[in-house]
Amino acid sequence: MTLTIGIDIGGTKVAGGVVDGSGVVLASTLRSTPASDPAAIRDVVADVVTELRAKHEVTAVGIGAAGWIDSDRSTVQFAPNLAWRDEPLRDALTERLDLPVVVENDANVAAWAEFQFGAAREAASAILFTVGTGIGGGIIWNGHLVRGSHGVAAEFGHGLAVPGGRECGCGRHGCLEQYASGNALVRYARETAAADRDAAEFMLKATGGDVEAIDGPLVTQAAEAGEPAAVAAFVEIGGYLGEAMADMAQFLDPDVIIVGGGVIKAGELLLAPTRERFTAALGARAQLPTAVITAAQMGRQAGIIGAADLARH
Ligand SMILES: [Zn+2]
């Protein structure tokens, strides 16, 4: 069976693995990301590939990174957490490694992993929302990853949630990312905790009374314990996600809508309010068969597995 390497370049870690055609990771390795130095990031990627190749014969390398990748999957046009600006990553690495290399956006990679091996493996068409610090997205349509004419399709985080709302890092006001991301979850929980300390007893006990020390994992832990402020924060972001997903169902009518990213660790605490608003927002359309909303299944190795499999295809 042919083997390929998948590499997941994050803001702090570079993770790489050798993956077979069934999505099984046979070997993996991890390095720190030298995020501010483009040449050093290339060196780390080359080093990871060299290490993994020493024990396994591989035919291609796939790389997933947060950022805008051009439509022919060669150049990282912009990466928010890394020093890449118009970085010709594919050609630089192909030459250096003497292997075919593909470069893909991290959310697209995760969507592909779910489609091939995870929550959408029985589906023809699927949409992934990654809910982490920000919000990313991926679209698989009739078995193909939708990149868009310019390589930047499925940026759901920058769709409109609230006209004239909060300013977003992208320059627009009212983006979904400002209302339904992990950052928004923490903001809601802190706001409630500041206004009503009784509703946030669990969280404030954990932080010694410091509202600003409330973080995402603590909100999840508190919601699991039934803390009103934390549960309400999940209902808030789930509401905005459900509205956005109803738009997706109206536009594209997929088989499945998957929720991934760090925040899905909360499971039904997030999915239940998301589904409730989704159904309400669809109105009469909700009587017809429509997309199933479900949790991502691929976990932390989605980036490695998806990138390796895209390189194989
Ligand atoms: Zn935005």
Domain ranges in the chain?
4-112+301-312, 123-296
Q: How many C-beta atoms surround the C-beta of residue 30 within 10 A?
A: 11
Q: What is the mean pLDDT of residues 97-122?
A: 96
pTM of the model: 0.95
Fold designation for 123-296: Nucleotidyltransferase; domain 5 (3.30.420)
Residue 67 confidence (pLDDT):
86
Q: Give distance in angstroms: CA of 196 to centre of ligand 1.
A: 30
Q: Which tens digit of pLDDT belongs to each residue from 70-84?
A: 888 888 888 877 888
133 closest CA partner among 10, 304, 222: 10
Q: Give distance in angstroms: CA of 228 to centre of ligand 1.
A: 29
Architecture of the domain made up of 4-112+301-312? 2-Layer Sandwich (3.30)
Q: Give distance in angstroms: CA of 146 to centre of ligand 1.
A: 20
Q: Give distance in angstroms: CA of 233 to centre of ligand 1.
A: 21
Q: Give distance in angstroms: CA of 176 to centre of ligand 1.
A: 7
Residue 121 confidence (pLDDT):
97
Q: Give distance in angstroms: CA of 66 to centre of ligand 1.
A: 15
Sign of CA dihedral 59, 103, 241, 148: negative
Q: Which tens digit of pLDDT belongs to each residue from 203-237?
A: 999 999 999 999 999 999 999 999 999 999 999 99
Q: Give distance in angstroms: CA of 218 to centre of ligand 1.
A: 26
Q: What is the mean pLDDT of residues 18-43?
A: 95
d(CA 70, CA 104): 9
Q: Given its phi and psi angles, is residue 22 left (phi above 0), alpha (psi -120 to 50 degrees) or beta?
A: alpha
Asked whether the domain spanning 123-296 has the same topology as the one spanning 4-112+301-312, the reply is: yes
Q: Give distance in angstroms: CA of 168 to centre of ligand 1.
A: 5
- Is the pLDDT confidence value at 197 over 90? yes
